Structure 1
């Protein structure tokens, strides 16, 4: 039986990072470890956020793993993303070169990639990590 979302967070929207179970697991683990504190998406994706909004992040099996809170949202073109934001995304070696390769591939798989595509760039903070004791029922 799957985990339930802890009581104070049951009203929150849920989402998983990435476009596959493996990528979702990899990225949520970076969040839980405090390495990943930023993310980006296209402005028309359903997971757009506002500062102060909290989300339950799911793992690759759709199980609740943690809660994050958006602290900043900015919009910029793909080719305007800088070293600092790439580092905060926490992926690979945290370089801008790695960020560009990984995100070109990701957005390409979605059929949306272009050098000047508009991205919603979000910074967030980790609120709570769910453990088996807190979320199993």
Structure 2
């Protein structure tokens, strides 16, 4: 954690009655981190999704529910909230539900919007960052639901 994150974490510990919380990691949303963080702070965004294949490429474990507290950052790396992941499941891209799309809180909240936005995001990410081709329509997506425990 950097200095800003340490100060925010200490304030979280002081202001809440959570006993011995386990810190997970600090992270910002991809794509539009400020916009998405604002949706979280407004209570409109309570879920997110990531490509399972990225966890494999980066040799990282999948997230787990109710295990630790993560710090949400804005696009400038400033802490804005502490989150607890409450549900994690894996499903193919083409089977992500309208309910999950709605919980992501983006655009018009529809599954069609979710699919279009995420397809474009992952296609660009895979081509320009990883330099790989992935069949996005059938790839596994890690769907997470979370709650804000501090902001």
Per-residue displacement from partner, 1:43-83 (whole Å, max 9, x unpaired)? 23358421113210000001111011000000000000011
Structure with greater helix share of residues: 2
Counterparts of 1:92 and 1:115 in 2: how far apart (Å)?
A: 20
Q: Is the 8 A contact 2:92 2:138 kept in 1?
A: yes
Counterparts of 1:84 and 1:60 in 2: how far apart (Å)?
A: 27
Decide which of 27, 46, 69 is 2:84's aligned counterpart. Answer: 69
Decide which of 125, 136, 140 is 1:118's aligned counterpart. Answer: 140
Instruction: Note if 1:15 corresponds to 2:27.
Output: yes
Q: Is the 8 A contact 1:87 1:96 kept in 2?
A: yes
Q: State the number of aligned residues.
A: 125
Unpaired segments of 5 or more residues in structure 2? 14-20, 127-133
Decide which of 98, 102, 118 is 1:103's aligned counterpart. Answer: 118
TM-score by length of 2: 0.76
Q: Is the 8 A contact 2:22 2:69 kept in 1?
A: no
Decide which of 86, 101, 106 is 1:91's aligned counterpart. Answer: 106
Counterparts of 1:12 and 1:42 in 2: how far apart (Å)?
A: 19
* Superposed CA RMSD: 1.9
Unpaired segments of 5 or more residues in structure 1? 130-137
Counterparts of 1:85 and 1:114 in 2: how far apart (Å)?
A: 17
Q: Which moved more, 1:5-14 or 1:38-47?
A: 5-14
Which structure has the bigger radius of gyration? 2
Counterparts of 2:61 and 2:36 in 1: how far apart (Å)?
A: 16
Q: Is the 8 A contact 2:107 2:113 kept in 1?
A: yes
Counterparts of 2:95 and 2:81 in 1: how far apart (Å)?
A: 30
Q: CA deviation at 1:110?
A: 1.1
